Amino acid sequence: MNRPIRKIGDPVLRRKAKKVEKITKETQRLIDDMVETMRAADGIGLAAPQVGVSQRIAVVEIEADENVPGSGKLYVLINPEIVARSEEEQVGVEGCLSIPGWQGEVARPARITVRALDRNGQRYRLEAEGLLARVILHEIDHLDGILFLDRLTAPDRIWRVEPKPARSAA
Ligand code: ZN
């Protein structure tokens, strides 16, 4: 089920989300809904607070070929933790489904190692770089109530963008 995406100004986006203590049927349903909501919005990541649930869950999916839906790998991250980050940073442009119509420039570590539980509660480690690292860091920020606006390389490095055209129009 597609859930409404909370927009900036909604206090849930500024709350520190709670650790998931037990993965229940409700958790599974939430994850399914988050994946559906992310895909419907043409997003590459979504955190539970963005659908109004203050729990430490995020989903990330970057398509290998942007014209081929489902060509990427889907990551479910429950209680994610960054265990290592490179000193080297990468500057890139970010947007956010909760801040439609805006993009800004953010510096992030170029490479990270993250530890999380998958949707079955199995612990895994993931080494990520480039865009995947950026998206994971952006989503973990959401779990701590942080938005990309808080991390701009400079206060004026933000600008308006046209809404993304629908995939069918691409
Ligand atoms: Zn976001």
CA 120 to ligand 1 center in whole angstroms: 24
Distance of CA 52 to the CA centre of its chain: 14
Q: Catalytic: 139?
A: yes
The answer to whether the pTM exceeds 0.85 is yes
Residue-wise pLDDT tens digits, 115-150: 999 999 999 999 999 999 999 999 999 999 999 999
Distance 89 CA to ligand 1 centre (A): 19
Query: How far apart, in Å, do the first and last CA atoms of the chain sit?
Result: 25
The amino acid that residue 7 corresponds to is K
Instruction: Confirm if 116 and 77 have CB atoms less than 8 A apart.
Output: yes
Domains annotated on the chain, with CATH: 11-160 (3.90.45.10)
CA of 138 to the centre of ligand 1 (A): 6
CB 112 within 8 A of CB 87: no
d(CA 167, CA 164) in angstroms, rounded, equals 8
pLDDT-above-70 percentage for the chain: 94
